[in-house]
A and B are shown apart, each in its own frame.
Chain A
Amino acid sequence: MTQAQAGINPPASADTFVMQLLRDSRMIIVSGPGGVGKTTSAAALGVLAARQFSRRVLVLTVDPARRLATALGLPALGNTEVPVHVDDALGTLSMAMIDTKSSWDDMVRRHAPDASTRDRVLANDLYKTLTSRFVHSHDYVVTERLFDAHEGGDYDLVIVDTPPSRSALSVLDAPRRMEQFFTSRLLKLLTAPTQSRLLTIASRPFFIVADRILGAAFLSDIAEFFTLFRTMEGPFVSRARRVNALLSSPSTAYVVVTSAESVAMQEAGYLVDELRRRNHLLAAVVANRLLPAALAAGADVRASVLEQHPDAAVRPLAFAEQEIANVAVRQAAALSRMNHWGVPIVRGESRRGDITDVQSLLALGQAFSVQGTHD
């Protein structure tokens, strides 16, 4: 069956692995190189899951994809989840974007041992700058946010659209890093009382370096901030461990989206390897932006017929058919390379027109869903 038809066909039977994935997973983490339709694929899976199953579905995006929000009839996505209407849906769909600053603030409010610590952290200049201006502070907050969504009991399935390429891996590594940070000597050094700093042989070089680079005043700002931050160690560390467990749980499935171009595939292949190395469950690779199979079939034959066509007026079209035939050959080679990854492949075809509404997302999701029957 062609995917062009799939969009208008009745919903597929529920035994394809895409449907199983949407029915059985608690969390689906979508990653991939930039510019291959990752956010759109995540949203399409969400729309389809809400439509086909009686599940409460949340799509969390870290990309500020405002157009997608507009397309879904939402004014702008923020940190708060917004319901999205899907016609004839058995379940419900919500979407949210992760806002770093407000997510950090929420977390501090939750973990602070008392009101005074909370207010002092929230008012700290270092805290404010780190959480609002530096993207890598995003990494930890993303995992916290998805853990919340998962544990909060409001959703049966959470689909996460991660930042492009390797940034997805920094997100996945963030809880472990946070735990390491709290238990590390770095934090102990940073928060050590000033008078004891130069006393121990092991910590001396650290302070000599830190003092020269940062200056005593900034170092004491850092010490003050981390002394406050340390009071939240217990909740932070136990959360980080649970987040880590969730990321490796068998009900958390990973999907890598890629195009069939060699550079995108190289990056996607790297992500596949790295997810495997972390023992994550790789559920599917979406080979996106493919030439529609209906157009590609027979293009080479049509090109040679057109070249000799009795009606000379149509002969220039041989060029277009040849171009399509060439793309088809290249994509077939790319798909067979992808097969070596040993992950089920879902074909996603280029579509005419932009994704402008829930209906077009649903069509895209349905095109994914009809493929890849197990066994």
Chain B
Amino acid sequence: MDDKGSLAAYFGRTSLEFAPTEVAPNVMAMAMNTEDSLREYIRLFLRVPIIGSLTPLARIFDFVANAAPAVKEILAVGKLCYEVRENNYDLVIVDSEASGHFVAQVSAPDALATLVRIGIIADQTKWMSALLHDPTVSTVLAVVTPEEMPVVETIELRTRLAAATPIDFAGVVINRMPRVVVDDMALAAARSNATLTATVAVGEWLVSRRAEAEQHARRLADAFELGNVDTIAEAPAEVDAPAQVTEHLAREIERIVRDHT
């Protein structure tokens, strides 16, 4: 939704367009662009040869699509709901904007429905809301790193989301959990060797990093009333290129799915 070009990089592409591209077998990817979304909307729902006659109003078009509050949000969420309604895909995965923007976006149809009661938009906000509120159709999954602020934000996100719209909340997954790379017994042995102080410092630093992350994970599990939270291990240091990160994440997600079955 907030295209930073990074989604493209994760699929080994330089960029993604509004028009979907097949990035892997059976996987299509697109980047949201609200101006394109507005064009598509006008073409699909008004069936008027509007692009030509709108040219003198191009700047208005740009302003409405990119800057007008409410319009930007509804064009983004509307496009997603349309793809779902038309059954164009079996599964639509949305890499949403940061948590502050996300709540406004996902509740945009509800908010707009309170303003517009009749007309095309009013009808459309109804089916959008219906799709978003149906737990068999839509759900929210929060991905969080095991750190103070992201954890607090995620706990707050659920509360704010519940206040704004009745969308289902599937749960949370912790990403970048520090891996266990320190052997406790070896660290204990190193402590008694005066020549290994630098190594002990490295070991203690890694151990405390892991312990802090576990503490945040517990806090999240408590807040969401879960026995434990699914965690994706931090990639090893040599994994840095986006395509490698994708592979690493895919393996970790496969593992989580296996653990659950």
Task: Tell me the A residues contacting B by CB distance below 8 Å.
Answer: 33-35, 39-40, 63-68, 125-126, 129-130, 133-137, 139, 163-167, 170, 174, 177, 180-181, 184-186, 189, 202, 205-206, 208-209, 212-218, 221, 261-263, 266-267, 270, 292, 294-295, 298-299, 302, 306, 311, 313-317, 319-321, 323-324, 326-327, 329-330, 350, 352-355
Interface contact B181-A319, CB-CB below 8 Å:
yes
Q: Please, could you name 8 A-B residue pairs with CB atoms under 8 Å apart, sorted by A?
A: A35-B147, A125-B114, A133-B164, A181-B67, A186-B63, A215-B118, A217-B117, A320-B182
Shortest CB-to-CB span from B249 to chain A, Å, is 12
Interface contact A320-B117, CB-CB below 8 Å:
no
**B residues 5-32 in Cβ contact with A at 8 Å:** 5-6, 9
A352: chain B residues within 8 A (beta carbon)? 205, 208-209, 212
Tell me, yes or no, whether B193 is within 8 Å of chain A by CB: yes
Q: Measured between alpha carbons, how far is A217 from B116 in the docked complex, in Å?
A: 8
Which one, B82-90, B98-106, B222-230, is touching chain A? B98-106
Interface contact A34-B199, CB-CB below 8 Å:
no
Q: Measured between alpha carbons, how far is A317 from B105 in the docked complex, in Å?
A: 48
Interface contact B121-A214, CB-CB below 8 Å:
yes
A167: chain B residues within 8 A (beta carbon)? 2, 97-98, 101
Interface contact A314-B196, CB-CB below 8 Å:
yes
Q: Measured between alpha carbons, how far is A315 from B189 in the docked complex, in Å?
A: 10
**B residues 172-210 in Cβ contact with A at 8 Å:** 181-183, 185-187, 189-190, 193, 196, 198-199, 201-203, 205-206, 208-209
Q: Measured between alpha carbons, how far is A258 from B21 in the docked complex, in Å?
A: 30
Shortest CB-to-CB span from B159 to chain A, Å, is 12
Tell me, yes or no, whether B247 is within 8 Å of chain A by CB: no
Interface contact B111-A134, CB-CB below 8 Å:
yes
Interface contact A317-B183, CB-CB below 8 Å:
yes
New contact pairs (10) apart from A186-B63, A314-B189, CB-CB < 8 Å: A64-B153, A66-B152, A167-B2, A180-B63, A213-B46, A214-B116, A262-B242, A295-B198, A313-B185, A350-B209
Q: Measured between alpha carbons, how far is A24 from B209 in the docked complex, in Å?
A: 37
Tell me, yes or no, whether B115 is within 8 Å of chain A by CB: yes
Interface contact B53-A184, CB-CB below 8 Å:
no
Q: Which residue of B lies closest to A217 (CB)?
A: B118
Interface size class of B (residues with CB under 8 A): 35 or more
Q: Measured between alpha carbons, how far is A137 from B97 in the docked complex, in Å?
A: 16
Given contacts A295-B202, A320-B203, A215 and B119 within 8 Å (CB-CB): yes
A177: chain B residues within 8 A (beta carbon)? 63, 67
Q: Measured between alpha carbons, how far is A324 from B212 in the docked complex, in Å?
A: 18
A330: chain B residues within 8 A (beta carbon)? 237-238, 240
Tell me, yes or no, whether B236 is within 8 Å of chain A by CB: yes
B68: chain A residues within 8 A (beta carbon)? 136
Binary interface profile of B, 52-78, with partner A (CB < 8 Å = 1, else 0)?
Answer: 011011011001100111101100000
Interface contact A326-B236, CB-CB below 8 Å:
yes
Given contacts A181-B63, A317-B199, A323-B181, A266 and B4 within 8 Å (CB-CB): yes
Q: Measured between alpha carbons, how far is A202 from B60 in the docked complex, in Å?
A: 13
B115: chain A residues within 8 A (beta carbon)? 125-126, 129, 218, 221
Given contacts A215-B121, A295-B201, A320-B202, A261 and B208 within 8 Å (CB-CB): no
Interface contact B107-A133, CB-CB below 8 Å:
yes
Task: Tell me the B residues contacting A by CB distance below 8 Å.
Answer: 2, 4-6, 9, 42, 45-46, 48, 50, 53-54, 56-57, 59-60, 63-64, 67-70, 72-73, 97-98, 100-101, 104-105, 107-108, 111, 114-122, 145, 147-150, 152-153, 156, 164, 181-183, 185-187, 189-190, 193, 196, 198-199, 201-203, 205-206, 208-209, 212, 236-238, 240-242, 245
Interface contact A134-B70, CB-CB below 8 Å:
yes
Interface centre among A186, A202, A306, A320 (most CB of B within 10 A): A320
Q: Which residue of B lies closest to A185 (CB)?
A: B60
Interface contact B6-A263, CB-CB below 8 Å:
yes
Q: Measured between alpha carbons, how far is A302 from B199 in the docked complex, in Å?
A: 7
Q: Measured between alpha carbons, how far is A218 from B71 in the docked complex, in Å?
A: 14
B108: chain A residues within 8 A (beta carbon)? 133-134
Given contacts A185-B60, A186-B60, A267 and B6 within 8 Å (CB-CB): yes
Interface contact B42-A209, CB-CB below 8 Å:
yes
Q: Measured between alpha carbons, how far is A40 from B193 in the docked complex, in Å?
A: 38
Residue from B4, B60, B119, B196 in contact with A184 in the complex, judged by beta carbons closer than 8 Å = B60
Given contacts A315-B186, A317-B187, A135 and B63 within 8 Å (CB-CB): no
A164: chain B residues within 8 A (beta carbon)? 98
Interface contact B53-A205, CB-CB below 8 Å:
yes
Q: Measured between alpha carbons, how far is A330 from B2 in the docked complex, in Å?
A: 27
Interface contact B206-A302, CB-CB below 8 Å:
no
Q: Measured between alpha carbons, how far is A139 from B100 in the docked complex, in Å?
A: 13
Q: Measured between alpha carbons, how far is A355 from B189 in the docked complex, in Å?
A: 32
Given contacts A214-B121, A320-B203, A205 and B50 within 8 Å (CB-CB): yes
A68: chain B residues within 8 A (beta carbon)? 149
Interface contact B193-A133, CB-CB below 8 Å:
no
Interface contact A39-B149, CB-CB below 8 Å:
yes
Q: Measured between alpha carbons, how far is A189 from B6 in the docked complex, in Å?
A: 39
A67: chain B residues within 8 A (beta carbon)? 148-149, 152
Interface contact A317-B190, CB-CB below 8 Å:
yes
A170: chain B residues within 8 A (beta carbon)? 67
Q: Measured between alpha carbons, how far is A341 from B104 in the docked complex, in Å?
A: 35
